[in-house]
Amino acid sequence: MGNLEQKKPDASDGSDEGNVSFAHKLFAAAAGQWSGAEQGSIMAVLKAWMKMIEEELREKQRTILDIFSRINVHDDEIAKRVKTSEYQSLLRKSFRNWSGTESEKKQDYVRNILCNAASTRIVSDDVVGLFIDWLQKYSEFHFAVIGELYRNPGSTRGEIWGNLGKGDVREDSADADLFKLLVRDLSTGGIIRQHRETDYAGNFIAKRRSTPVRHANNRQLKSAFDETEAYELTALGKQFVHYAMTELTVKIQYQPAQAPDATEPQPIH
């Protein structure tokens, strides 16, 4: 069993000390619990898991460094903000939900939300926490629909589908069912809604009921790609775009020759 003894990594290599200790104990336990015939395959699985954990730690580290390279740490209000328990709670929540940010784009959304939450207070921290939950709850397809409605408010479901580059599909196809489910998710989640008129005070005006036109030969139900009803983002949806899809440019330049020299937020298209 001597050949299975693992060398404990040096803390100077930049690894998290607690993670190194955990890995060392895990491999030692594996060497003592399984027979020689089993140890080879067990150790291979454990090494793969530890590699996954280490990669996740590196991703979190890169995200934190990226956040603090983009916010103005010389601004007294921002410096105070990032030290508050409320902001620290948002940081912890983001990294607890890290497994839900499985793509690079979602990780960019996490960074953008935390950057904007440090720099602006347009919405409450409760709303920002909801945005973080959405990153785990919804797919990139959901966020593509949100972005499309932000660019083209008042689009119908058919226009959204077409503008996202989707081809023609049958009404009874899985793709059509998926799109209907996606629109329902965003509608019940309070992110999008059918267009409504408002008065000068922002109150919604009830729609006038019109007499339905009967078509004797038309027995088809409403299409998943309907071309009549317009959709728009709710106030929550618009603020999500501001927080998650608006990117602050780098202010601390690690590589001055390559990093952009700009201070204004740049929307992601």
Per-residue pLDDT of the chain (269 residues; tens, 9 = 90+): 444 444 444 444 444 455 556 666 666 665 666 656 666 677 677 777 777 778 778 888 888 888 888 888 788 999 999 999 999 999 999 888 776 667 888 889 999 999 999 998 899 999 999 999 999 999 999 999 999 999 999 999 999 999 999 988 999 999 999 999 999 999 999 999 997 777 666 666 667 665 555 555 656 678 889 989 999 999 999 999 999 998 876 655 444 444 444 444 445 54
Domain count, the chain: 1
The answer to the question of residue 45 being in a domain is yes
The answer to the question of residue 207 being in a domain is no
Please, are residues 34 and 12 in contact by the beta-carbon 8 Å criterion?
A: no
Give the largest CA-CA distance in the chain: 85
The answer to the question of residue 171 being in a domain is no
Residue 16: Cβ within 10 Å count? 16
| Domain hosting residue 78, numbered range | 16-137+244-267
Q: Distance (Å, rounded) from C-alpha 36 to C-alpha 197?
A: 73
Where does 53-194 show beta strands of DSSP type E? Answer: 192-194
The answer to the question of residue 226 being in a domain is no
The answer to the question of residue 6 being in a domain is no
Element (H, E) at 232: strand 231-233
* Helix, coil or strand: residue 164: coil
- Considering only CA atoms, which of 122, 132, 129 is closest in space to residue 238? 122
Q: What is the pTM of this model?
A: 0.70
Q: Distance (Å, rounded) from C-alpha 237 to C-alpha 122?
A: 13
Q: Distance (Å, rounded) from C-alpha 175 to C-alpha 166?
A: 10
Tokens of 156: 């119908």
